[in-house]
Each structure stands twice: as C-alpha cells, then as structure tokens.
C-alpha cells in the first residue's frame, strides 16, 4: 500500500490563474479551468477515488426506490479521512492555490470533499445553493467540481450555473429537493440569470463555483457512470455562523467539530491547505 501511495503523482505545483479569470469568477460566480490535471494524473487518482467510493458507498437501493436526492447521485463524503490516496488528492496545493486566488485570500481551509457519482439513468440534481448547508460567516467559499471521466455532452449530468446568482447571497432555506427545484427555477426565471454550462469537459478539467451560486445538473442519459470529485474551500479566518436550521446544525457537528458559533472555523477537520 505504501509503494502504491508513493507512486501517485505529486499535486503540489501551481496552476496559474489569470486576473481575468479572477474577475470572471467574481462577476459570474463560476469559471472553468481546463487541464487542471493531465491525463496521466487524473487516471491515477481516478483509480484511487473510485476504489474508495466502492468501499465506502452504502447505497444498495435501486434507483426507482430512492427519492429525488437519492436518484441524483451517489454521495460519499470526507474520503480524505479514510483513504491516504484520496487524502493526497484532497489536500493538494495545486487545487488550493486556485481556490485562494479566486477568493483573493492568502490561505484556504478545507470544508469537506464529496465524491458525486451520478449513475447511468440517474436523475437530475435540483436547483440549489450549496452554502445553505454551511454555517459559515463568509461569502468567500468555493467548490471545485472535477470530472474523473470525460463528459462529452451536457446530457451526462453537466453542472449548470445561474450566472451571477451568487451576488444576493442566500435566497432560500430550501435544500436539494423537488421543492428547491421549483422555488429556485422561479427565482432564476424572474431574475433572468443566464444559464451557463460547459458543452463538454475532459477528465481533469474542472469548474469552480461560489457557495451561493445557484446551480443544477440534468440526469445522466448516458450508459456510464458520471464520476466527479468535489472539494469545498473557504477563506482562512472565517468564523462559524449560528445555524439557521437543522441542516446547518448537522453540518456544524459533522464538518466543523461542533465548535461554538462565533469561534474560528478551524477544527481538525478543516486543515489549512497552503
């Protein structure tokens, strides 16, 4: 196992982000970074992440037996805590440097990772805002969404953004559900946000979106798994907000060490990355 870990490619070199990309992220709430990992590196880490997903996935129901959330994807979280190969990926400085540049901060902390594997025939991911789950007193948050396989067209489950929707902050307490789909669909239409999504992404490309950017994804209409790994970052120095509902209370206990609201969000689960 040690030899296999040592053979994994290093991910601590820099990927240069331009001033124009930083401005685009600030304006639209999302950007793309092409070839963030080359084919050799993403292939090596895809194997590690997929094996970890297979080991720790607890979903055994057929798609037809699940609710909307369950049909959207297989979701396995904080794999960095249980697999050393995944840990090397999640704590990579290459990704953290991009996150810090986009947020215009010196350092970022990890909130948590998520493997989001949308099965062949899997359902759509409803409109939502990620940060509705997070009791973090900041707008400086960003999620990296990296496909581990090629996504040749949007109908394999491509992430879709309501461009500019992050500027108002939280607009609803609804979490991912049929209700959030309906409410955010109406909000997006009323505000006429442009809907933006890549036409295609290669394995190792990535999108990045602000925690308040409204987004969704269609179902997976292909015959293969849409394998995606995500990492959520926030600015160092962020304090914990008082939870506004049960989902934020759960996140406080699960991802922030159950620290006291008002204190720094710096538990052992949230390491500095640079």
Per-residue tokens: 99: 């996150």
- Residue 272 DSSP SS3: strand
Compute the distance between CA of residue 139 and CA of residue 156 in angstroms, rounded to an integer.
Answer: 30
Strands 30-33, 74-77: pairing kind: unpaired
Q: Write down the pLDDT at residue 1.
A: 43
Convert the pLDDT of each residue in 38-92 to its tens digit. 999 999 999 999 999 989 877 566 766 666 665 556 789 999 999 999 999 999 9
Q: Is 237 left (phi over 0), alpha (psi -120 to 50) or beta?
A: left
Span 22-43, average pLDDT: 98
Span 18-44, average pLDDT: 98
How is the beta sheet containing 195-196 ordered, strand by strand? 125-128, 215-217, 160-162, 195-196
| Phi, psi (deg, nearest 5) at residue 46 | -60, -40
Span 246-253, average pLDDT: 97
Convert the pLDDT of each residue in 193-249 to its tens digit. 999 999 999 999 999 999 999 999 999 999 998 999 999 999 999 999 999 999 999
pLDDT at 37 over 60: yes
| Phi, psi (deg, nearest 5) at residue 209 | -140, 145
Q: Write down the pLDDT at residue 66.
A: 62
Q: Write down the pLDDT at residue 88.
A: 98
Q: For the ranges 23-32, 67-76, 99-108, 159-168, which has the lowest average pLDDT?
A: 67-76
In this structure, are residues 107 and 266 in contact, taking their beta carbons and an 8 Å threshold?
no
| Closest-CA residue to 162 (of 199, 125, 209) | 209
- Alpha helix locations (H) across 145-233? 178-191
Residue where the block lists tokens 């979701």: 75
Dihedral angle sign, alpha carbons of residues 200, 108, 268, 83: positive
How does DSSP assign 74-93, residue by residue? Answer: EEEE-GGGT-HHHHHHHT-H
| Closest-CA residue to 59 (of 44, 72, 46) | 72
């Amino acid at each position: 196992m040690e030899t296999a870990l040592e053979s994994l490619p290093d991910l601590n070199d820099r990927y240069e982000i331009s001033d124009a990309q930083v401005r685009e992220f600030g304006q639209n709430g999302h950007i793309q970074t092409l070839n963030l990992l080359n084919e050799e590196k993403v292939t090596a880490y895809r194997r590690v992440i997929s094996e970890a997903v297979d080991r720790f996935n607890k979903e055994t129901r057929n798609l037809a037996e699940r609710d909307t959330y369950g049909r959207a994807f297989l979701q396995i979280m904080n794999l960095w805590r249980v697999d050393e190969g995944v840990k090397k990926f999640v704590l990579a400085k290459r990704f953290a440097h991009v996150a810090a540049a986009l947020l215009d901060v010196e350092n970022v902390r990890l909130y948590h990772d998520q493997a989001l594997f949308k099965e062949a025939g899997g359902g759509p991911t409803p409109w939502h805002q990620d940060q509705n789950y997070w009791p973090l007193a900041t707008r400086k948050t960003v999620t990296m969404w990296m496909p581990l396989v090629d996504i040749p067209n949007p109908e394999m489950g491509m992430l879709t953004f309501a461009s500019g929707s992050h500027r108002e902050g939280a607009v609803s307490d609804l979490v991912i559900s049929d209700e959030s789909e309906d409410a955010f669909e109406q909000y997006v239409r009323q505000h006429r946000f442009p809907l933006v999504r890549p036409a295609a992404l290669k394995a190792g490309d990535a999108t990045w979106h602000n925690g308040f950017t409204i987004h969704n994804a269609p179902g997976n209409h292909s015959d293969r798994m849409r394998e995606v790994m995500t990492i959520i970052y926030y600015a160092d120095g962020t304090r914990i907000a008082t939870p506004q509902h049960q989902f934020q209370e759960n996140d406080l206990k699960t991802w922030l060490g159950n620290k006291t609201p008002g204190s720094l969000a710096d538990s052992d689960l949230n390491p500095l990355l640079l």
